[in-house]
Amino acid sequence: MAEQLMHLSGLTYRYPGDREPVINGLDFAVDKGASIGLIAPNGSGKTTLFHLMMGLLKPEAGVITAFGREVSGEKGFKEVRRRVGLLFQDADDQLFSPTVLEDVAFGPMNLGLGRHEALDKARGVLSELGLSGYEERITFRLSGGEKRMVALATVLAMDPDLLLLDEPTTGLDRDTFARLVAVLQASKVARVVISHDFDFLEQVTDSLCSLVRGKVVTDEGLHLHRHAHVHRHGDRPHHHH
């Protein structure tokens, strides 16, 4: 059996005051090297699932195992957050330093790198993402698409073992979209990607799942739907795995 990075079992979560749990007895495993697309309707609980995986929300039931250990308390999730990079749906939740370079260097410094090394690391990642020249830009004045790419840089700078990307293509223009696809295709880091774009998921993941009534489902129908969709609407050459 493949080595598991994370495993969720019987996970249940309900927002305060809600009658129905949005995540309801969910099972989900992310193996080493996995590349999973998560496509499901608005409000089905995708973002909630990511927040549970990061320990930002506490489940009312279920077990989360990460890197071979059951995680429950804040100490365990601190370790999870060092090794799992979450790209938030809203880049403004991710960026807080005055300049782009400071923002991207913050994570590596937090992981214990010296300031000089961390800044080098940050410059390297920015360049990889086509963001050379952005180092001294004022973070909060960037455009939506620029913010999203800088947010991705902050995540990649931490060399995560697992990437959780929440709608990473939102607000990206054609060229930036293509750059994101290229970066993800070149990366070996395990990933779960939330997107409503079948074509994008087809290019950057090798399996698909959905959320139905609070549970992860991986059915063949999804793949049929995907290919039908791509066949009808695809206008780019597709990367096949």
Ligand X SMILES: Nc1ncnc2c1ncn2[C@@H]1O[C@H](COP(=O)(O)OP(=O)(O)OP(=O)(O)O)[C@@H](O)[C@H]1O
Residues that bind ligand X (CB under 6 A): 15, 22, 40, 42-48
Q: Two tokens at 224? A: 């049929």
CB of 20 to ligand X, least distance (A): 9
| Minimum separation from the CB atom of position 153 to ligand X (A) | 22
168 Cβ partners below 8 Å, 6+ apart? Answer: 87, 148, 152, 180, 193, 195
Please answer whether residues 87 and 164 qualify as being in contact, where contact means their C-beta atoms are separated by less than 8 angstroms.
yes
8 vs 22 by CB, closer to ligand X: 22
- Return the number of the residue (53 or 184) whose C-beta is nearest ligand X: 53
Q: Which is nearer to ligand X, 49 or 118 (CB)?
A: 49
Minimum Å gap between C-beta 67 and ligand X is: 24
What are the angstrom distances between the C-alpha of 106 and each of 29, 98, 119, 203? 30, 11, 9, 30
Residue pointed to by tokens 């999804």: 222
DSSP labels for 74-90? HHHHHHHHHHEEEE-SS
In the complex, the smallest distance separating the C-beta of residue 211 from ligand X, rounded to whole angstroms, is 7
* Choice between 12 and 187, CB closer to ligand X: 12
